[in-house]
Amino acid sequence: MEKLRKALQVDIREAGYKLEKPVLKDVRLVLEEGEVLLLLGPTGSGKSTFILAITGILNNLLYGYVKGFVRLFDVNPLEPEGFRRIPRYIGVVLQSHELQIAMQTPLDEVLFTLENLSIENAFEKARKVLEKYGLSEKAEADVETLSGGEKKRLCLASSVVHEPELFILDEPTANLDPWGASEVLKYVLELKRKGKTVIVTEHKPRYFLKIADKIAVIENHTLKLGLKYGKELTPCTIMRAKRERESKIVYLKNVKFKYCEECPLVLEGASMDVYEGEIVAVVGPNGSGKTTLGKIVSGLLKPISGEVKIAGAAPWRLKPKELLKRVIYVPQEPNYFFVKGTVEKELKLAARYGELKFGKLIESLDPWILDKMDESPYKLSYGQKKWLTYTLAKVYGSRVIVFDEPTAGLDPVLTDKFFTWLKEASRDGITPILLTHDVRVLEYAADRVFIIEEGVVREIGVRDSIKVLKKPVEECFYEKQS
């Protein structure tokens, strides 16, 4: 029997961004060719740093450091010469698609990978992989018009198009709808059948538990194999108490919207009403118009027709400060929410608008936020950035908070904490509207659910919405067994 090659050998004594503050210590790992590793760990534990270290990006591009030994097949990525060879061996999907996409159109982005590696039949291969990831119709569209999930699929496409030996997927399902997540699962299963090596970092491990050959946890700066991690949220099976619908705070009627005169309608007659204190989820496939709807509710986009009222007023008729008192939009990409250079300055700005005393605010903050007051919010881990945006949104004091994919990038502990936060906010009279395709939001938090299909918004029962979101992934594993 032919002996399998070692795909990855790691013996890192220390790695990080500052010598006096190592992120990783005493990390050892061996992966055989064809193995799938599921890498878990709390938000900010160092999973992304581990990926950056083993690919050579940390010390060659980000001015970080790695002390120890790393070998990918027969290449040392820590050395400049080996680092230059790495792109042929691996395909990487970073957690933040905004940091990865470099070109103006999906077609150019995929071609960029192929042409840099001088691969033949580049155009044909690019078209084929875009079709596989459901992007053929948007091949020449401006990437800024893509939804967050579509951008994630573009990153997947450009990272696999050159058929590397090792695939590194950092939170690959974080911004994908269940249909997109099922495609990722199918592709990982296909890679496994082909004998490819795959490393997946995830905060939603149930997607990959049936696929992984090895499970590792990064916690307390080190990596341990074969350990369980996190907590499974218990679905809310008790019937939710019906709320007294006394005050309608969000009202939409026959809203239509498109991004340009020649563009197709994104919303073709959206109607919905939301009452104060309700936790409302809006679901639908990526690209269906969830973000567009959220921005209309938030006053960031004006519809071409229809009626929109937030606490009795059309949002685009309000002055910015008046609008902020009524509604705030928390984007899917947390970096877009920040406007100041430190965490402390962000909090002081929010406290001023929310008419809160900063000294009083300090008493209620999470300890980890207090430890990061002098740091740039842009340098926090992805999950920490997300949690900071939720803290800031509440401090601003808006009556309605529109969250775009709020649980993406949160570990199970923070997800559970976020759901508790939602219920407390709801009791305080805040109305959270969650644009999501995370079934846990429906199981554990939502009072009501609206679904967007082909530009039309309609209400759907919570239990029915859970079935809709679970079906694609369940079918994926059913296909595997059959």
pLDDT for the residue numbered 233: 45
- Two tokens at 306? 């229809």
- Two tokens at 353? 């608008």
Polymer length of the chain:
482
- Two tokens at 415? 């997800």
Q: How far is CA 449 from the centre of its chain?
A: 21
Instruction: Tell me the CB-side half-sphere exposure of residue 442, using CA atoms within 13 A.
Output: 22
* Predicted structure pTM score: 0.75
pLDDT for the residue numbered 85: 92
pLDDT for the residue numbered 333: 87
DSSP, residue by residue, 294-338: HHHHTTSS--SEEEEEETTB-GGGS-HHHHHHHEEEE-SSGGGG-
pLDDT for the residue numbered 235: 46
Name the segment(s) of the chain with CATH classification 3.40.50.300. 6-225, 249-479
What's the rounded Cα separation, in Å, for the pair 472 and 424? 32
pLDDT for the residue numbered 246: 64
Digit-coded pLDDT (tens) for 325-367: 999 999 988 999 999 999 999 999 999 999 999 988 998 898 9
Q: Please name the residues in contact with 26: beta carbons below 8 A apart, sequence gap of 6 or more.
A: 12, 13, 222
pLDDT for the residue numbered 242: 46
What's the rounded Cα separation, in Å, for the pair 424 and 441? 15
Helix and strand element counts for the chain (H, E): 17, 18
Instruction: Tell me the CB-side half-sphere exposure of residue 423, using CA atoms within 13 A.
Output: 12
DSSP, residue by residue, 11-50: EEEEEEEETTEEEEEEEEEEEETT-EEEEE--TTSSHHHH
What's the rounded Cα separation, in Å, for the pair 160 and 87? 11
What's the rounded Cα separation, in Å, for the pair 5 and 307? 63
What's the rounded Cα separation, in Å, for the pair 153 and 93? 9
Beta carbons of 145 and 165 less than 8 angstroms apart: no
Burial of 56 (0-12, 13-18, 19+ CB in 10 A): buried
CATH of 249-479, one of 3.40.50.2300, 3.40.50.1820, 3.40.50.300, 2.40.280.10: 3.40.50.300
Q: Which residues of the chain register pLDDT less than 70? A: 1-3, 175, 227-246, 477-482
pLDDT for the residue numbered 236: 44
H helices of 204-319, where?
290-297
3-state class (DSSP) for residue 197: strand
What's the rounded Cα separation, in Å, for the pair 285 and 176? 9
pLDDT for the residue numbered 151: 87
The answer to whether domain 6-225 has CATH 3.40.50.300 is yes
pLDDT for the residue numbered 227: 58
